[in-house]
Amino acid sequence: MLVFHVVKSGWTFAGNVWMRGQEIKLEEGSPRWHEAQRFIHWTEQEQMDYYGGIRWRLGPWPFQRSYISPGSQFQPLGSLDGKGQVAGPTEEQLRQADAAEQRRNGGVPRPMFA
């Protein structure tokens, strides 16, 4: 099994937009395994050359895995015009995001046509 994590939010693979911290697990021989072979062994320099930045690293995500932790705070969000605050996610929404990520368990969407 191959495990890698997303370093920069907004990277796309397997028909999905991945966010920083998400792990992707691929079984050898699966359709997505073959798709990943075209890029997964790129060096960081090759990623820089192609994307202008590092998008993934091999191995599991090395930091906090939950959106909620004791005392965690999020950067205040401002409106685009600079005239007000934008509400961030509620604690319930963060719990739902944690639960969805746990259910996904590193899986990726199956190809529509294999």
Model confidence pLDDT, tens digit, residues 63-94: 887 767 666 666 677 788 888 878 777 889 88
Q: Which residue did the predictor score with more confidence, 97 or 109?
A: 97
Is 112 domain-assigned? no
Whether residue 46 sits in one domain with residue 1: yes
Task: Give me the number of domains the chain comprises.
Answer: 2
Is 81 domain-assigned? yes
Give the SS3 label for residue 95. helix
Q: Check if the beta carbon of residue 53 is closer than 8 Å to that of residue 46.
A: no
For residues 31 and 114, give the distance between their C-alpha atoms in angstroms, rounded to a whole number.
Answer: 7
Q: Which residue did the predictor score with more confidence, 109 or 1?
A: 1
Whether residue 6 sits in one domain with residue 46: yes
Average pLDDT over residues 105-113: 80
Give me the domain span that covers residue 15: 1-63
What pLDDT is recorded for position 114?
54
Whether residue 72 sits in one domain with residue 95: yes
Whether residue 89 sits in one domain with residue 76: yes
CA distances from 28 to 37, 69, 80, 92, 107 (A): 10, 34, 45, 36, 13
The pTM is what? 0.76
